Amino acid sequence: MNLVFLGPPGAGKGTQAVEIARARGLTHISTGEILRAAIRDGTPTGLKAKQYVDKGELVPDGVVVDIVSEALAGGGSSTGWILDGFPRTLAQAKALESKTSETGVKGVEMVLYFAVPDEAVIKRLSGRRMCRACGASYHVDFMPPANDGVCDRCGGELYLRDDDKPQTVRNRLAAYREATEPLVDYYIEKGLLVEVKGDGGPETVRAAVEDILGERFC
């Protein structure tokens, strides 16, 4: 099974991708991770990407698609893969489809769209707290520390990242709506998209995903 996990920031798709990939023996392909790996390993496309990263610029869609396509062609699992964090735009989705067709790599078979209301996303992200010392992560509602503002692991100070402040999260959601939501209609038209209610707990969401995959792939 070749899957795309799609949804707004804070929808929990990354967490689900890791767990589902582990349970089903799939290759989990996180765009950020494979981009960093390609740069670190000095692959031809990694060297192209490095030129932009070194200048603080966004890596162009074409280079990102090439890196993702290389990861897909490399396989890593005969049972399939999960794309997490890609595609982000309609242009990337179309380019990926063309590239997999050109290279003979089996393309996307299902897109799981994790639908979460904006207010639930804001609550999830703005409730996160990070330790300044060791980087441990907490949540004021779902996984609070034993002592408010203090890391259980090392005693360091917990803080709210700028990216997780409510207004910043709203801005991130607005950017997502503009750039990524057109993908929903695109994959609906192709008959690939299945919506998952993503505002439950991780176990509830995972059970829903497993039910969907079980019906389609056994």
pLDDT of residue 53: 87
> pTM here?
0.83
Q: Is the pLDDT of residue 158 over 90?
A: yes
Catalytic residue flag (residue 206): no
pLDDT of residue 69: 85
Report percent pLDDT > 70 for the chain.
Answer: 98
pLDDT of residue 218: 62
| 121 contacts 115 by C-beta, under 8 angstroms | no
CA distance 216 to 210: 10
Going from the C-alpha of 170 to that of each of 30, 114, 147, 164, 176, the distances in angstroms are 24, 18, 29, 10, 10
Which pair of tokens denotes residue 103? 């290279």
Catalytic residue flag (residue 13): yes
| 16 contacts 202 by C-beta, under 8 angstroms | yes
Report percent pLDDT > 90 for the chain.
Answer: 63
pLDDT of residue 171: 93
Give the domains, in start order, of the chain with CATH numbers.
2-116+171-217 (3.40.50.300)
Catalytic residue flag (residue 128): yes
Q: Which of 88, 94, 165, 170 is catalytic?
A: 88
Q: Is the pLDDT of residue 105 over 90?
A: no
What is the SS3 assignment for 125-186?
HHCEEEECCCCCEEECCCECCCECCECCCCCCEEECCHHHCHHHHHHHHHHHHHHCCHHHHH
User: What are the residues whose beta carbons fall under 8 Å from the beta carbon of 207, sequence distance 6 or more?
Assistant: none
CA distance 217 to 112: 14
**Alpha-carbon radius of gyration of the chain:** 18
Which pair of tokens denotes residue 155? 């005693």
For the stretch 58-81, pLDDT in tens is 788 889 888 888 888 775 556 889
Residues in the chain, overall count: 218
Q: Which of 161, 177, 197, 216 is catalytic?
A: 161
> Which range is least confidently modeled, 66-80, 94-108, 142-156, 170-184?
66-80
| 143 contacts 119 by C-beta, under 8 angstroms | no
Taking the CB of residue 152, how many other CB atoms lie within 10 A of it? Answer: 15
Catalytic residue flag (residue 22): no
Q: Which helix (H) or strand (E) holds 81?
A: strand 81-84
| Cα within 13 Å of Cα(22), Cβ side | 7
Q: Which of 13, 50, 99, 124 is catalytic?
A: 13
Three-state DSSP class for residue 109: coil
pLDDT of residue 55: 87
pLDDT of residue 78: 65
Q: Which of 99, 123, 124, 128 is catalytic?
A: 128
In 3D space, the residue among 110, 128, 124 whose CA is nearest the CA of residue 198 turns out to be 124
